[in-house]
Amino acid sequence: MIISKDVLIIGGGPGGMYSSIIGALINVSSFIVESNDNLGGQPMQLYAEKDIYDYPGFLTIQPYVLTEGMKEQIKSYPDKIEVSLKTTILDIVKDGEYFLTRLSNDEIVKTRFIIIATGSGSFTPVKSDLLKEANYSNIHYVFQGEKQYKNKKIVILGGGDSALDWANYLNEKNITNDVVLVHRREEFRARQEKINKLSLNNTRTYLNFDLSKISKNNIVINGIESKEEIIIPYEFLLVQYGQEIKRLGDIDILKQIERNRINKINIDINCKTNVENIYAIGNSNDFEAKPNLIICAAAEGARAMYSIRKKIRDNF
Ligand SMILES: Cc1cc2nc3c(=O)[nH]c(=O)nc-3n(C[C@H](O)[C@H](O)[C@H](O)COP(=O)(O)OP(=O)(O)OC[C@H]3O[C@@H](n4cnc5c(N)ncnc54)[C@H](O)[C@@H]3O)c2cc1C
């Protein structure tokens, strides 16, 4: 199937999402390809529960609130924005003035423009073999908003900064005081102040325990040295074993794009790359003193979209 739009946006982080919204408002249609199973990018994948202090109009706002808001905006323009999740790009060929992009779901998207909004790459949560087989909807790899965790039994797997952040956050905000943290090593691999905070709240911790079984509402853990077996009931299992990062694959046309010594894309004032009609926004590009901030990714999306609208108007 061939889908025709004005712009293909690669990456559904804040930059990609906002580009599509501003595009819809100025009558430029777009198709977002996102490799993850959720929109939101780094804020959702890496720090969904944290407070953001530098977003205009809010003393603090949380990434999942921002993401949900932008998802609502996207949904409100069904004739202007299409989104394909869990999708990657297989190849892009030029057909006259059009890019024909073949997706991993066999669809082909035909556009005159491309915006690269891939940030630092695609983040995929690391899963153990047991977790790969456990497809229960109450196993979460990103923090999905405090409402659904209110007064629930939560088990967190992992022992790094993010796992401890989740445990501390659930306790400090009084979302629930029934939190269990399981880590397979003898010590946490997190900053000391987070470990200190953890010891002051109600989180029950099991260090040096391995996960041996998962069912929909229980996990079984075994002491690595003690061999003790413990069954822990849960209503939500939050997994934070880290993220795997993949960068844009080997696509000829994208390999022609100039990058700097840290592999970020060089752009002009309108976020155009050296390849005609391909733009790069947000954390995928770089320039002197660039602020890697959500609003900058969004602002660059607006620049790119306004430049695209001008090109469309000038040509037709
Ligand atoms: C721990 C941490 C805290 C931060 N705190 C703040 C803060 O308080 N305030 C602030 O303004 N900024 C903060 N930032 C920075 C902010 O998150 C980034 O500047 C912002 O996310 C950049 O948005 P983006 O859309 O360019 O990229 P990203 O957020 O990285 O999104 C890129 C998207 O593209 C997808 N993708 C990548 N490759 C492909 C591919 N080949 N095919 C399909 N999809 C692909 C990814 O899955 C992802 O969804 C923080 C960053 C971190 C890591």
Sorted by sequence, the CB contacts under 8 Å of residue 309 that are 6+ apart come out as 23, 26, 27, 28
Which residues face 182 on adjacent strands? 157, 206
Cα–Cα nearest to 143, from 268, 240, 35, 222: 240
Are the C-beta atoms of residues 24 and 102 closer than 8 Å to each other? Answer: no
Mutate to test the pocket of ligand 1, among 42, 265, 305 (most ligand atoms within 8 A of CB): 42
Q: What are phi and psi of 286, to 5 degrees?
A: -155, 150
d(CA 253, CA 11): 17
pLDDT of residue 316: 58
Cα-to-centroid distance, 14 and ligand 1 (Å):
7
CB atoms within 10 A of CB 217: 14
Cα-to-centroid distance, 16 and ligand 1 (Å):
10
**CATH numbers and ranges of domains, the chain:** 2-124+244-315 (3.50.50.60), 127-241 (3.50.50.60)
How confident is the prediction for the chain on average, in pLDDT?
94
d(CA 7, CA 28): 8
d(CA 209, CA 85): 35
Cα-to-centroid distance, 226 and ligand 1 (Å):
41
Is the full-model pTM beyond 0.75? yes
**Ligand 1: does its nearest atom lie under 6 Å from the Cβ of 46?**
yes
Residue 100: HSE in the Cβ half-sphere, 13 Å Cα cutoff? 9
Q: At what angle do helices 192-200 and 161-172 cross, to 10 degrees?
A: 30
**Ligand 1: does its nearest atom lie under 6 Å from the Cβ of 301?**
no
Tell me whether strands 7-10 and 113-116 are parallel, antiparallel or unpaired. parallel
Cα-to-centroid distance, 290 and ligand 1 (Å):
14
Cα-to-centroid distance, 19 and ligand 1 (Å):
14
**Ligand 1: does its nearest atom lie under 6 Å from the Cβ of 37?**
no
pLDDT of residue 245: 83
* Residue with CA closest to ligand 1 atom 20: 294
Tell me whether strands 30-33 and 243-246 are parallel, antiparallel or unpaired. unpaired
Mutate to test the pocket of ligand 1, among 118, 165, 257 (most ligand atoms within 8 A of CB): 118
Sorted by sequence, the CB contacts under 8 Å of residue 288 that are 6+ apart come out as none
Tell me whether strands 179-183 and 2-4 are parallel, antiparallel or unpaired. unpaired
Sorted by sequence, the CB contacts under 8 Å of residue 164 that are 6+ apart come out as 181, 188, 190, 194, 195, 197, 198
Q: pLDDT of 49-99, one tens digit each?
A: 888 999 999 999 999 999 999 999 999 999 999 999 999 999 999 999 999
Mutate to test the pocket of ligand 1, among 294, 295, 300 (most ligand atoms within 8 A of CB): 294
* Residue with CA closest to ligand 1 atom 47: 122
pLDDT of residue 140: 94
Q: pLDDT of 49-58, one tens digit each?
A: 888 999 999 9
* Residue with CA closest to ligand 1 atom 41: 248
Sorted by sequence, the CB contacts under 8 Å of residue 61 that are 6+ apart come out as 51, 52, 55
Tell me whether strands 139-140 and 236-239 are parallel, antiparallel or unpaired. parallel
**Ligand 1: does its nearest atom lie under 6 Å from the Cβ of 304?**
no
Residues of the chain with pLDDT under 50: none
DSSP letter at 55?
A: S
Sorted by sequence, the CB contacts under 8 Å of residue 51 that are 6+ apart come out as 60, 61, 62
